[in-house]
Structure 1
Amino acid sequence: MNPTLGLQLLLLLGGAVAVAAVARRRGWPAPLLLVAAGLLVSPLVPAVPLDPDLVLFVFLPPLLYSAALDSSYLRLRDVKRAVALLSIGLVIFTTAIVGLVVHLLLPSLPLALAFALGAIIAPPDAVAAVAVGRRLGLPRRTLTILVGESLFNDATALTAYRVAVGAAVGGTVDLWHSLEQFAFAAVGGVAIGLALAFVLAWLFQRTRDSLVENTLMLLIPFAAYLAAESVEASGVIAVVIVGLYLGNRMHLRGFGTRLVSDAVWKVTDFFLETIVFALIGLQLATVVQGISGYSPWAVAGYAAAVLAVTIASRFVWVFAVTYLIGALSRRDTQPSAPQTVILGWAGMRGVVSLAAAFALPPGIPERDRAMLLFLTFTTVIGTLLIQGTTFPALIRRLRVSSEREHYEDRLAEASAQQAALEAGLAELERLVEADGEPDEIQRQVIDQLREKSWRRSLTAWERLGGGTGPGGAETPSALYRRLRRDMLQAERQVFVRLRDERRLDDEVLRKVMAELDFEEAILER
């Protein structure tokens, strides 16, 4: 690799991580700050073209897999109708509306390419919306719908995109063939995802090694995506199915696998999302150069019109479908009006749209390609900066909160801890009875086990009061955690001092520090 290119790449990655770190420290939405930073520096740095294959085959699979792994299959099943209407119905509706409007604005642009643009900008990316929603306490059902939509809408959009591009290049569209393509992509993606999930679940039962299992997990999204795409099925659906299946069975893995997996995917998500959103902003110079032959006012008008139609079409679909389902359904499971507004405004587009625009085949005229890329870029930037920056204020203004859900969660956890405590103590008594009369040392160990079980259950009940006792006093569990954390810090200092004095080897230090870290992690929990 050219050393200069390597240095530029390192500066890009380091700068993006630094911007994301500032956003996290300040509590700002990192995706929006990264896009804004990319826009600001784009005219000042060499062009960084977005490679579609890099996005679709390197960035997209692990991000989808991580989101699916962290999602709840049971909650997604509860909102499957809403997710299907958004990830399939809304994508097709947006593709059609945007395509027709673009064809009216630009009659010289073939209708098939206009629909291709509609498919390109149809799928929202929920990363920014979900991050803000979780921080501000959106109801769990609303967050689940947004996550579910983002997991599956790329599959619908990419299939519609392939059909539209094929029509633009080939000149004809066979509706039945298009429907067959869509059905095969969906069914094939599900079949391949399930087949891989069953094989991997069987394999994981026989490895019992956290390092090997997590290494395999890093390869799974790429294997699932490539396996599905190689037979023209949906790689997106295959990855999501594998992630949901394995995530739902994560309790069967060992504690080491779960601890390492959580850390690995948090770092992976942070790194990939940081790069992706920085790359979006850095496309400014490349996109603007492509439309140099158009009137600035004309292209600004086209961009504003497409952005407005994209935002409006989501609102129309969300409100119409919500109230139609509410009229036909007897169950009181529909979102409230404020939650519907939130769903309608959570339509920020992301890097998949840009990647699809950059991936337009060579057979499309360069002038049309440049216009499609420009309109895609302005829609992505517009939704991120307009909807993204106003999303937190909208949530606060509408007072959409999950406070009741948090209380119910704490109550359910406390009840579950009580039931688990009783089962654990019953098993302890059975073991003591089977082992016979304990001696003094054994009795002390047994008493410690009983005390630890009761303390954990007591902590769960104390959370119902916000972690404070009567009159705002510190609860016993909170006192225990505070004092034990200070003790752990003092113990660490002793170990480090002994290492510095060459009385303790670094390997021993790492081992004891890991044990203290695990204990502190349990205290934080």
Structure 2
Amino acid sequence: MIDNALHENILLVLGLLFAMLLLVMLGQKLRISYPIFLVLAGLALSFVPGLPLIVIDPDLIFLIFLPPLLYQAAWETSWQDFWRWKRPITLLAFGLVFFTSTIVAYVSRAMIPGFTLPLGFLLGGIISPPDAVAATSVLKGVKVPRRVTSILEGESLINDASSLIVFRFALAAVVSGTFVLHDAATTFVLVSTLGLAIGLVVAYGFYLIHRYLPTTPSINTLLTFIAPYVMYLLAEEFHYSGVLAVVSGGLLLSHKSHRVFDADTRLQANSVWASVGFALNGLVFILIGLELPIAVQGLGDYSLKEAITYGLIISVIIILIRLVWMFPAAFVPRWLFRSIRTHETSPGWKGPVIIGWAGMRGVVSLASALSVPLLLSNGQEFPQRNLILFITFVVILVTLVFQGLTLPAIIRLTGIADQEERMPTDAQEAGIRLRLRRVALAHMDLHYSPDMQKNELIKALQQRMLAEAQRTGNLLEALDYDETKRQALQRYHQVLLDVLRVQREELFVLRHEDVFEEEMLRHQEAQLDLDEAKISHMPH
């Protein structure tokens, strides 16, 4: 017999998943970004009479949800773009987080009765990091410069780490009653550096497994799910940054994936990760909305009106802080360093405005607020815990819903277009395809010239690349399988797979040249994967 509590929990999870899918489809119909729609729907569901209160264990989010979501984001991030815009990404992910936490700390101490400075830093660390999924989801389907999306994606990868470090130091200060800036700064560097190192070491270990052990596509896919948990848990076990471990490890494995994954693995892993990532994100956003009753019930000495007022004021402050930060961060380095003016185009005013308005809070902020302990080490109640949780909920709601719904309109009002110095999408695709065909033809001329004279199938392959003729798969289906033609077919498979390998290596070279966008290179890699999969599954 299944335990009743377990039975109810399984039904609840399945019910939430099904409700999430229906709500996402409805949101698509209404053209509302799904994180926004799910939070609003969860908020509405929380008022349904008889619906049980859903209490989220913060460890559930930090341990189950956070590692795979960060790993997926790191895997899909272009290392070239990340490194190209490392300066603005660092200023946002570290500088803005610390600046926001400091301003929130002093404002909340001055505004809220009984709020201390360590509590203010605790709140600031909780609400300082924008949510990665919310921003990218809202920006989908809206034309913005690649610079904007690259900076937002890069910021979201590492701002969770900096905010969680601020949160930990502030929490320790509240619990112990002491805070030493020098010790905190030293610990911050140690926690960050060793977190990065652990992630890289673990990632390299998984790289060796993928490359040298006899894996299958299913094994490889499962290993990609195990990897982020190993990185996160190992770093956290030694009290280092698990977030930075997952990010650094994910970037490394993504960068080396072309050397260890075959076409079947990439196709399978991409499909599985897309579904799992979508489910995890959807569940978290709907759970955010369902947490409202818990946040309201725990206000204690504060009235609902007072708590809402504090939450709205702090929401406005963090929105203004981000907007104010953007312009000095964008232009002061250009004024100070000639090399930046030489190598980077001016961001103008439109890009900073859009990046500044895309600071929507979400999953990590809620998990951090919920992880504040109920009691201090001496057994007393943790001061202001319930108010911190409620303010966090208001900030998430205001930034996610208000900024998320208005961001597309602001993008349209600014009239921003794709101002990158790169060629248009269709030209990029044509350029990549031309480059791949040229390297394939050169490789065939150098290594398979005799085969092209004797083997009609290989000759047909050359003609297809020269004239973009009918796909060779159709020719293969018309073959009669006598021994001579079977040997010719096997040789054809060998040549074509070798040509595809050379083209994939050329894609790796193109990534380092930083001429084409990562999205277009991934698209061409997927095409090569499909061609290889078709050949690999044909009878030999």
Interval of TM-score (by shorter of Structure 1 and Structure 2):
0.7 to 0.9
Give 1:25 shift.
4.9
CA contact (8 A) 2:452 2:458 kept: no
Q: Please tell me whether residue 185 in structure 1 is matched to residue 197 in structure 2.
A: no
Q: Which moved more, 1:113-122 or 1:297-306?
A: 297-306
Counterpart of 2:262 in structure 1 is: 254
Partners of 2:533 and 2:409 in 1: how far apart? Answer: 34
Give 1:302 shift.
1.1
Task: Indicate the SS of the match to 1:394.
Answer: helix
Counterpart of 1:136 in structure 2 is: 142
Give 1:166 shift.
0.7
Judged with a 3 Å threshold, the aligned counterparts in structure 2 of structure 1 residues 4 and 126 are, in CA distance, closer, same or farther, namely: closer
Counterpart of 1:76 in structure 2 is: 82
Structure 2 residue corresponding to 1:357, chosen from 369, 372, 383 = 369
Partners of 1:327 and 1:518 in 2: how far apart? Answer: 48
Task: Indicate the SS of the match to 2:178.
Answer: coil
> Which residue identity does 1:220 align to in structure 2?
A
Q: Please tell me whether residue 399 in structure 1 is matched to residue 411 in structure 2.
A: no
> Which residue identity does 2:327 align to in structure 1?
F
Give 1:308 shift.
0.8
CA contact (8 A) 2:35 2:137 kept: no
CA contact (8 A) 1:112 1:165 kept: yes
Give 1:415 shift.
2.8
Partners of 2:271 and 2:408 in 1: how far apart? Answer: 27
Give 1:418 shift.
2.1
Give 1:114 shift.
1.4
Judged with a 3 Å threshold, the aligned counterparts in structure 2 of structure 1 residues 429 and 124 are, in CA distance, closer, same or farther, namely: same
> Which residue identity does 2:179 align to in structure 1?
V
User: Where do residues 16-165 of structure 1 align in structure 2 (5 Å cutoff)?
Assistant: 16-44=20-48, 45-165=51-171
Task: Indicate the SS of the match to 1:249.
Answer: helix
Partners of 1:164 and 1:325 in 2: how far apart? Answer: 31
Deviations 1:236-258 (A, max 9, x none): 00000011111111221211121
TM score, norm. by length of structure 2: 0.81
Deviations 1:91-124 (A, max 9, x none): 0000000111111111312221111001100111
TM score, norm. by length of structure 1: 0.83
CA contact (8 A) 1:167 1:173 kept: yes
Partners of 1:272 and 1:418 in 2: how far apart? Answer: 39
Counterpart of 1:490 in structure 2 is: none
Structure 2 residue corresponding to 1:200, chosen from 201, 206, 219 = 206
Partners of 2:117 and 2:306 in 1: how far apart? Answer: 20
Counterpart of 2:508 in structure 1 is: none
Give 1:209 shift.
2.4
Partners of 2:382 and 2:432 in 1: how far apart? Answer: 62
Give 1:319 shift.
1.8
Counterpart of 1:464 in structure 2 is: none
> Which residue identity does 1:139 align to in structure 2?
P
Task: Indicate the SS of the match to 2:144.
Answer: coil
Q: Which moved more, 1:55-64 or 1:202-211?
A: 202-211
Judged with a 3 Å threshold, the aligned counterparts in structure 2 of structure 1 residues 317 and 433 are, in CA distance, closer, same or farther, namely: closer
CA contact (8 A) 2:35 2:134 kept: yes
Partners of 1:77 and 1:107 in 2: how far apart? Answer: 44
Question: Which ranges in structure 2 are unaligned for 5 or more consecutive residues?
Answer: 475-528, 535-540
> Which residue identity does 1:70 align to in structure 2?
E
Partners of 1:425 and 1:194 in 2: how far apart? Answer: 38
CA contact (8 A) 2:142 2:408 kept: yes
Counterpart of 1:337 in structure 2 is: 349
Give 1:138 shift.
1.5
Give 1:127 shift.
1.3
Partners of 1:189 and 1:367 in 2: how far apart? Answer: 30
Counterpart of 1:374 in structure 2 is: 390
Judged with a 3 Å threshold, the aligned counterparts in structure 2 of structure 1 residues 319 and 436 are, in CA distance, closer, same or farther, namely: closer
> Which residue identity does 1:130 align to in structure 2?
T
CA contact (8 A) 2:89 2:151 kept: yes
Q: Which moved more, 1:231-240 or 1:104-113?
A: 104-113
Partners of 1:350 and 1:103 in 2: how far apart? Answer: 24
Partners of 1:34 and 1:455 in 2: how far apart? Answer: 49
Give 1:4 shift.
3.2
> Which residue identity does 2:242 align to in structure 1?
G
Deviations 1:52-103 (A, max 9, x none): 0011111010000001001111111111111111110000000000111111
Give 1:294 shift.
2.1
Partners of 1:436 and 1:120 in 2: how far apart? Answer: 65
Give 1:448 shift.
2.8
Counterpart of 2:483 in structure 1 is: none
Give 1:413 shift.
3.4
Task: Indicate the SS of the match to 1:136.
Answer: coil
Judged with a 3 Å threshold, the aligned counterparts in structure 2 of structure 1 residues 518 and 85 are, in CA distance, closer, same or farther, namely: closer
Partners of 1:171 and 1:254 in 2: how far apart? Answer: 55
Partners of 2:93 and 2:210 in 1: how far apart? Answer: 31
CA contact (8 A) 2:369 2:392 kept: yes
Deviations 1:246-295 (A, max 9, x none): 11112212111211121121112101110010011000111111115422
CA contact (8 A) 1:38 1:279 kept: yes
Partners of 1:245 and 1:410 in 2: how far apart? Answer: 29
Q: Which moved more, 1:162-171 or 1:26-35?
A: 26-35
User: Where do residues 231-242 of structure 1 align in structure 2 (5 Å cutoff)?
Assistant: 231-242=238-249
Deviations 1:284-329 (A, max 9, x none): 1111111154223322221111111111111111122222123223
> Which residue identity does 1:43 align to in structure 2?
F
Q: Which moved more, 1:236-245 or 1:176-185?
A: 176-185
Give 1:133 shift.
1.9
Over the residues paired in the alignment, what is the CA RMSD in angstroms? Answer: 2.3
Counterpart of 2:216 in structure 1 is: 209
CA contact (8 A) 1:126 1:347 kept: no
Judged with a 3 Å threshold, the aligned counterparts in structure 2 of structure 1 residues 211 and 113 are, in CA distance, closer, same or farther, namely: same
Structure 2 residue corresponding to 1:176, chosen from 164, 182, 201 = 182
CA contact (8 A) 1:43 1:284 kept: no
User: Where do residues 363-512 of structure 1 align in structure 2 (5 Å cutoff)?
Assistant: 363=376, 365=381, 368-402=384-418, 407-435=423-451, 437-438=453-454, 442-443=455-456, 445-454=457-466
Structure 2 residue corresponding to 1:8, chosen from 4, 9, 12 = 12
Partners of 1:78 and 1:52 in 2: how far apart? Answer: 35
Give 1:403 shift.
7.4
Partners of 2:187 and 2:24 in 1: how far apart? Answer: 40
Judged with a 3 Å threshold, the aligned counterparts in structure 2 of structure 1 residues 301 and 209 are, in CA distance, closer, same or farther, namely: same
CA contact (8 A) 2:263 2:532 kept: no
Partners of 1:148 and 1:284 in 2: how far apart? Answer: 30
Give 1:136 shift.
0.5
Counterpart of 2:489 in structure 1 is: none
CA contact (8 A) 1:129 1:391 kept: no
Aligned residue pair count: 462
Q: Please tell me whether residue 218 in structure 1 is matched to residue 202 in structure 2.
A: no
Give 1:520 shift.
13
CA contact (8 A) 2:319 2:359 kept: yes
CA contact (8 A) 1:91 1:122 kept: yes
> Which residue identity does 1:155 align to in structure 2?
A
Partners of 1:314 and 1:266 in 2: how far apart? Answer: 31
> Which residue identity does 2:332 align to in structure 1?
L
Counterpart of 2:282 in structure 1 is: 274
CA contact (8 A) 1:31 1:128 kept: yes
> Which residue identity does 2:334 align to in structure 1?
G
